[in-house]
Chains A and B, each alone.
Chain A
Amino acid sequence: MATSKDKVEITKLVDAPPALVWEAWSRAEHLVKWFAPDGFVCHCSMDFRTGGSVSIRLVGMGFDSTVNGTYLEIVPNERIVWGMRFTDLPEHEVRTTVTLAARGDQTEVRVEQRFPSWDALTPAQRELLAPRMAGAPVGWGQTLSHLADFVRR
């Protein structure tokens, strides 16, 4: 798994063919079932086509945040690229690329997310972004293990 300071890459093998995995990404009623961390409710509206808009709201544990974005590229059953911005931090785009590849009866799902370089953020922006990036209402000062526990709960 590659790690740099402004990019995360995650790969996972899912036990279903690409068409089914594609459905889970491309329809709001499916996406809301798995996108939010446990303990959160996800609301989503999407116009799933290249250039279409997408809005995802996460609510839970005293936390309510919405990201708005645009689908930049959609290749059916293969690839989705979208850029998202927080409503109150519009100058920073988080770009996510999802790639699906058949592996026998399974599908390899690869997610690459590029986000604003930490160095480029002001302290105020860091305060704003940090807890949200985890999808969790935890303070910036809390430790990673707390966060990991929280996410896994």
Chain B
Amino acid sequence: MQNLDLTFSALADPTRRAIVARLARGEATPGELAEPFDMSLPAISKHLRVLERAGLITRGRDAQRRPCRLRAAPLDEATTWIEKHREMWEARLDRLGEYVAQLKESRHGNK
């Protein structure tokens, strides 16, 4: 069991969430990760350290490139728990919206 507090505080930042989303498509070097954010390499490295501490990513040993890779386990645990609730409620409120629209329609029809 990873420490969920670390995982969540690491993911509280939008840049770090974007980095995680990028790494979900495959490994990337810090330079590649910095590109879309208009951020300096040291700024990106700071984010990467936070993600690494939270156990969300691992860094390659190649000193030149240090490619980052997503470590799936802690993310699965944390997101599944929350996302299950979110998915459930989003689907449920979609159905509520459809149902209430039908209700409105039938009331109008009866008038």
Residues of A at the B interface (CB closer than 8 Å) are: 1, 3-5, 8, 10, 12, 14-16, 20-21, 23-24, 30, 33-35, 37-38, 109, 111, 113, 115, 118-119, 130, 133-135, 140, 143-144, 147-148, 151-152
Contacts and interface: CB of A to CB of B under 8 A. Distances in A.
A36 B86 CA distance: 14
A109 B103 contact: no
A34 B92 contact: yes
B89 A111 contact: yes
A16 B98 CA distance: 10
Contacts of A144: 76, 79-80, 83-84, 87
B103 A16 contact: yes
A133 B4 contact: no
Contact of A20 (B85, B89, B100): B100
A3 B81 CA distance: 11
A115 B84 CA distance: 12
A134 B81 contact: no
A15 B92 contact: no
A134 B84 CA distance: 5
B41 interface: no
B95 interface: yes
A143 B76 CA distance: 8
B37 interface: no
Interface string B1-40: 0001100100000000000000000000000000000000
Given A10-B86, A130-B80, 6 more contacts: A10-B90, A12-B93, A12-B97, A14-B93, A15-B101, A134-B84
Contact of B99 (A1, A24, A37, A143): A24
A87 B43 CA distance: 50
6 contacts: A5-B5, A15-B104, A134-B87, A135-B88, A144-B84, A148-B87
Given A4-B8, A20-B104, A151 B88 contact: yes
